Amino acid sequence: MVNSSKKRWIWAAWAIIWPASLFLIYQQTNLDNFKWLDLGAFTALAVIVALFPIMVNQIPVFFLNGITLVIYLNFGLFVEMIITTISVTIVLLQVRMTKQDLFRIPLNYVMFFLMSVSAAGVYRLFDFPVTAAQALDTPMHIIGILAYSMTLFMMNHILITLTRRYIYGKRDKFFERSFFWEFMTTIYILPAALLLHILYHEIGAVAVVFIGFSIVSTSYILKLYYRSRSMNEHLRLVSEIGHELTAQLNVKETLDLFMERIVSLVPADLAYLYDVTDGKELKLIRLYDPKERSIYKQGDRKKKGEGVSGFVWKKGAGVRYGKRKQWEKKWNLTAPHSESLMCLPIERDNQVVGILVLLSEQRNIYEKYQFMLIELLANFMAVSLLNAQHYEQTKQISEHCALTGLYNYRYFDDALKGLFQERAPENPVSLIMMDLDHFKQVNDTYGHEAGNDVLREVAARLSREIVDEDVVLARYGGEEFAVILPNCGSARAAKVADTLWRSITAQPFHTKNTLDFDQNVLLKMTVSVGVASYPENSEDELELVRHADRAMYVGAKQKGRNRVSIYHELNQKTENIPS
């Protein structure tokens, strides 16, 4: 957004430059012999053409240059500037300005003033009269008219580029789509403008009707063509985004990608994505803000019928508004500068599964076809999200132990191999192996359900101690557990192992004797722990597992159980045994 200081400077520049310059040009203009009816016809043509601008990259493109050329040749610079100002004002009223955008009026007045004066100055270099009543009877006259048109065209884009760079802070390229559209319309309208100029001097103001009809018709057709082309381009983008979404197998990445693509497809200053949780309430799961990008915001919940999102959920149909006054009394949103609003349900299997809310600070920014495109893309996302959820659920089942909820051996094996994949890791890796002592006696004495209770509680205690997301805690098999510690040497691993050992042995386990009428029992469990590290005492992942396992059995189990054994200490003791 443009800050207040720049806006004040723009208003000040307009107040100083525009009225005074216009007055000076007026002083040099002779209005005594004007044909006011003819001037009215040209003014009407300019106004009608201004009703059909083509918005290219938020820059209006229309056939005004050719008409102002004829007006300048026949009525002079002052009249051309007045009619240009009227036409520009009409265009600005159509580009959805808000109170914060009113500075664009003086800005455009100054820009078109500079364009008109520059073009007139270039034309005068060819020493032609300001009002050209004569026909196009010399090649130099045609060159002067071409120079006038090209000066208008180039000045327009130079000023637009400078404005967007130094006022809006946007680093746009000079040769963008709007440049080529403006160039093509300039080339297209120039022959029609010259023909209008010639016919006007042959048959009078009636020439405006004949030639003007073709100019207006072409303007309208081109606007329809560009809109159709934009719709086709947006449909292509929706198809591409749909394929991107269906390729995602992660719920978070699917939601983030959807929000990123939505705000790139249509203009949005704020975007809210709500999830319908258990069919009871809406929960905000994504919030897009241009300053903070896509973030997760907890705690914002809506009931059915509450706010615009709750209303759309209850109604089952979307809403679209172009002005703030149309919706601000209905829904109190925390978006003080927003004007346009679009809210639509996200459906899957004829059920509303989410709500999308888009807000823009520009008026009337959301068109009907954009609403349809977003609705289509939202439904793409709903299906993609379901696929991602199913994939994650399947992945969760395949990677986790159903009893303890910890990772299973398959995941443990893949994770450890992944650390050593292709080449040895640069940082140390440690492995802790744990085996519950005399666990078979628990099953034989109290029943397998009691043993399962112990395994679940062991998993819970270990999980409370493991807070690092990079650490892999797994049920290795039976009553064995394993912990992979990336970026961890043996000294630190020994401390972690001691903490885990204490978490199991410090407190008894509560369970029931399922073999004796479910009587409550307290079990004191001990555990044997072995620790090995890479590269201190192993060269690869297989050796790391063997050495951790050896430390657990030889250093802990065979030494009386209920202790932590470090592999390199075990190795030193072995080497010190006398022969």
Catalytic residues: 479
Of 177, 61, 97, nearest to 365 (Cα)?
A: 97
DSSP annotation string for 422-443: SS--SS-EEEEEEEETTHHHHH
Pairing, β 319-321 against β 54-56 = unpaired
ω before 535 within 30° of 0 (cis)?
A: yes
Sign of CA dihedral 501, 504, 508, 513: negative
List C-alpha distances in Å: 247 to 64, 207, 233, 275: 47, 60, 21, 21
Exposed / middle / buried, residue 469 (Cβ in 10 Å: 0-12, 13-18, 19+) = exposed
Whole-angstrom distance, CA of residue 90 vs CA of residue 67: 15
DSSP annotation string for 10-48: HHHHHHHHHHHHHHHHHHT---TT--HHHHHHHHHHHHH
515 phi, psi to nearest 5 deg: -90, -5
Give the CA angle between residues 340, 345, 351 to the nearest 5°: 175
Of 307, 316, 325, nearest to 364 (Cα)?
A: 325
Residue whose structure tokens are 């410090």: 506
What is the dihedral angle through the alpha carbons of 290, 292, 295, 299, rounded to the nearest 10 degrees?
-100
Whole-angstrom distance, CA of residue 491 vs CA of residue 533: 9
Of 133, 114, 134, nearest to 122 (Cα)?
A: 114
